[in-house]
Amino acid sequence: MTSLFDRHKAVTPEWLALYYGEPIELTHGEGRHVWDAEGRKYLDFFGGILTTMTAHALPEVTKAVSEQAGRLIHSSTLYLNRPMVELAERIATLSGIPDARVFFTTSGTEANDTALLLATAYRRSNQILAMRNSYHGRSFSAVSITGNRAWSPTSLSPLQTLYVHGGVRSRGPYAHLSDAQFIEACVTDLRDLLGHTREAAALIAEPIQGVGGFTSPPDGLYAAFREVLAERGILWISDEVQTGWGRTGDHFWGWQAHAASGPPDVLTFAKGIGNGTSIGGVVARAEVMNCLDANSISTFGGSPVTMAAGNANLAYLLEHDLQGNARRVGGLLIERLRAIGAQSPAVREVRGRGLMLGIELVKPGTDEADPQAAAAVLEAAREGGLLIGKGGGHDTSVLRIAPPLTLTVAEAEEGASIIERALRAL
Ligand code: PMP
């Protein structure tokens, strides 16, 4: 009998990569656990790429989805949609953006695509500033602002993109500087760049780079950038697809680590809000959101079923203070991982905040990325009953840990012990 893996390979693109030498089929989940088709149970520290935000099979979300599906699955944006308006109201308030308007899409890519459409139309410029080592999605416009070779399959672009320093603290030409000097150097570089170029439409940045390996600048960098951008009317787009909804513990949005600047002009979100149902979206102040002079719709964006899921999921998150849980449990977990990392010559850095933690692996005694070690630890963790992710720059050498935000202290401890054993086995 042909295996599911063989059937997968026969009908899907080669570039649709699967994790593990022997990929697994997940058949069900509950809380922070998932089961594969062979009945093996795993602790889930990746949540389907930071998307199962609260928990697997959260009864509140399941109930909201099934009740809405039983009433009406689809109506389109041509008709009034109560669950959509309700979620938009909540997100507008939470965003911190004054006079905010919300547009729903079905993915993070499409959210960023919309942000780029808005910014370029508003500013009448197709020049975009993006960060080196960034990832913003898979569409033609999103890959053209992706500063990560591994995820840029084409150099053709509808945009003129300039890549800015600062998203990666511990590598690159400014790594040796203090935080304050690092920020100053990046700001000086940005000013210099802007002095040589046309008027840019916007800067787009992930407050913590996700696919790039959970790297971030010192707190305050984007506030400092904001001052320079504001002098020229350049918009700031914060891509909160991974950093939103309290995952970082200290803040509800990643941009709040740069709060001196106030909120961004445009904020994009996706992943966690739907807990696995396909919700993405853009928030912008009315003046920017309303600048388009033609119609625009997303047939599936704001679908009643996904909006019902989003409302139930967000209510659960807020009522149970999962941001606080991410801060508390994430704080314990990073301490434990730092102690484990200090014992392993392959660990260069343990970083991140809240429940968004990265372990960067190198060839011992060097600064050279070690993607083979990352792949080996991923396999060993799976053998031990733990699912984690990987990412990072040009070489995929960073282990990514991003469990559902309901993670308990006991589960954090269990996962850390499995990672410890997997690193020892290297
Ligand atoms: N922005 C960021 C920061 C992301 O991490 C991702 C997905 N990894 C995207 C955008 C694209 O989202 P999607 O895959 O839903 O299109």
Question: Are residues 415 and 384 in contact, defined by beta-carbon separation less than 8 angstroms?
Answer: no
Of 277, 297, 319, the one marking the end of a domain is 319
- Say yes or no: 109 and 178 in one domain: yes
Q: What is the pLDDT of residues 372-385, one digit of tens each?
A: 999 999 999 999 99
Give φ, ψ of 347 to 5 degrees.
-95, 115
- Say yes or no: 327 and 295 in one domain: no
For residue 23, the domain's CATH number is 3.90.1150.10
Q: How far is the centre of ligand 1, averaged over its atoms, from the C-alpha of 243 (Å)? A: 11
Q: How far is the centre of ligand 1, averaged over its atoms, from the C-alpha of 117 (Å)? A: 17
- Give the residue, by CA position, lying nearest to ligand 1 atom 7: 137
Of 288, 319, 350, the one marking the end of a domain is 319
For residue 222, the domain's CATH number is 3.40.640.10
Domain count, the chain: 2
- Say yes or no: 295 and 399 in one domain: no
Of 319, 351, 384, the one marking the end of a domain is 319
User: Which two tokens mark 22?
Assistant: 């022997």
- Say yes or no: 205 and 277 in one domain: yes
Q: How far is the centre of ligand 1, averaged over its atoms, from the C-alpha of 421 (Å)? A: 31
Question: What's the average model confidence in pLDDT over 55-84?
Answer: 97
Question: Are residues 186 and 226 in contact, defined by beta-carbon separation less than 8 angstroms?
Answer: no
Four-residue CA torsion sign, 107, 112, 117, 119: positive
Residue 128's H or E segment, with its range, is: strand 127-131
Whether ligand 1 lies within 6 angstroms of the CB of 106 is answered as: no
Ligand 1: which of 106, 242, 282 to mutate, most ligand atoms within 8 Å of CB? 242
**What range does the domain containing 361 cover?**
4-57+322-424
Question: What's the average model confidence in pLDDT over 102-125?
Answer: 98
d(CA 298, CA 279): 11
- Say yes or no: 307 and 261 in one domain: yes
For residue 36, is pLDDT > 90? yes
Under the banding of pLDDT at 50, 70 and 90, the label for residue 260 is: confident
d(CA 82, CA 90): 13
- Say yes or no: 252 and 197 in one domain: yes
- Say yes or no: 336 and 355 in one domain: yes
d(CA 224, CA 222): 5
User: Which two tokens mark 151?
Assistant: 């995820």
Its pTM stands at 0.98
| CA 178 to each of CA 169, 217, 285, 369, 406: distance values in angstroms, whole numbers, following the listed order | 10, 11, 35, 23, 35
Q: What is the pLDDT of residues 196-247, one digit of tens each?
A: 988 999 999 999 999 999 999 999 999 999 999 999 999 999 999 999 999 9
d(CA 405, CA 182): 32
d(CA 375, CA 159): 34
- Say yes or no: 178 and 300 in one domain: yes
Residue 5's H or E segment, with its range, is: helix 4-11
Closest CA to 378 of 426, 343, 329, 336: 426
Closest CA to 282 of 202, 360, 370: 202
Under the banding of pLDDT at 50, 70 and 90, the label for residue 259 is: confident
- Say yes or no: 216 and 312 in one domain: yes
Q: How far is the centre of ligand 1, averaged over its atoms, from the C-alpha of 137 (Å)? A: 5
Whether ligand 1 lies within 6 angstroms of the CB of 91 is answered as: no
- Say yes or no: 381 and 272 in one domain: no
Q: What is the pLDDT of residues 129-145, one digit of tens each?
A: 999 999 999 999 999 99
- Say yes or no: 39 and 158 in one domain: no
- Say yes or no: 161 and 34 in one domain: no
